[in-house]
Amino acid sequence: MKMPFILLFTIAILTLPGKVIAAQKIPILIYHSIAEYSGTGSKELYVTPENFEAQMIYLRDHGFTLLTFEQWREAVNVKKPIFLTFDDGYKNNLNVFTIFQKLQTREFRPRGTIFIISDFIGRPNRLSEQEIKRITDSGLISIQSHTATHPDLTKSENLTYELKDSRQKIERITGKMVIALAYPYGNTNKRVVSETEKYYSYGLTTTPGPYTPSSAVKERYLLPRTYVKYSTTLKEFAKIVEVEQ
């Protein structure tokens, strides 16, 4: 009686990990401005509202589940999980909110995470406190930290202000916990990760590729993200998001 049980148990152990790893291969996308390119800044950091909406329709029609970092642990239990992130807190990210509202149905609930530079809140081209509060209260947008002043953290001498004070300011505005940090320029090192751990549960880089669970130390503080650019076609977008599940 023991032999069949041991055999079945061994087979289960050998086959399960591969399935789990495949199911947890998760794309994390990075956007900046969702607007028509105005001639200011890098064109590739823009995605037009028309293209962005087409991308969201693709995700809807192909069975993706859009998540924020508050739902990180749910990713292993949903169909085709994906995270959408938007860096810098530009006012044109209100276009994201408008498109999410337009496409939202009982079956499809779009969500995204905007990483705010806390000292830039309220500037002419940045989201205001009132706008941040409104979109956060909708449940469609999560507001997280992109530091206080957007320095290269690997060269910064004031990590407490950049990390702790930024988190606290955003939490005062939204009334919600801030648990994720996007490193400016994607730059980090052991010192920065160590400080980030004190205040956040997740740290995001700009290293391309989907997130794949591994035994790497502190992997939640080295999460990869793949850029979606002005020139990204819908066919290219599909290749980015359709990772092996």
Say whether pLDDT at 144 is over 80. yes
pLDDT at residue 8, rounded to an integer:
43
* Dihedral pair phi/psi, residue 29, rounded to 5°: -100, 150
Q: What is the mean pLDDT of residues 103-108?
A: 95
pLDDT at residue 245, rounded to an integer:
55
Please tell me the least confidently modeled range out of 70-74, 129-133, 216-220, 229-233. Answer: 216-220
Say whether pLDDT at 105 is over 80. yes
pLDDT at residue 19, rounded to an integer:
40
* Dihedral pair phi/psi, residue 8, rounded to 5°: -65, -40
CB distance 93 to 127 below 8 Å: yes
Say whether pLDDT at 96 is over 80. yes
Record the tokens describing residue 137, joined without a space: 């209260």
Residue 160 to residues 135, 153, 156, 211, 218: CA-CA distances in angstroms? 27, 11, 10, 28, 20
Q: How far is CA 241 from the centre of its chain?
A: 13
Please tell me the least confidently modeled range out of 67-81, 157-171, 184-198, 210-224. Answer: 210-224
Say whether pLDDT at 15 is over 50. no
Domain 26-241 CATH class label: alpha beta
| Residues contacting residue 36 through CB under 8 Å, at least 6 positions apart | 46, 48, 49
Say whether pLDDT at 224 is over 80. yes
Higher pLDDT, 21 or 151: 151
pLDDT at residue 214, rounded to an integer:
83
Boundaries of every domain in the chain: 26-241
- SS3 track for 167-213: HHHHHHHHCCCCCEEECHHHCCCHHHHHHHHHHCCEEECCCCCCECC
Q: What is the mean pLDDT of residues 159-180?
A: 98
Say whether pLDDT at 51 is over 60. yes
CB distance 141 to 69 below 8 Å: no
244: confidence class by pLDDT, cuts 50, 70, 90: low
User: Of 151, 154, 149, whose CA–CA distance to 165 is shortest?
Assistant: 149
- CA angle centred on 34, ends 97 and 60, rounded to 5°: 55
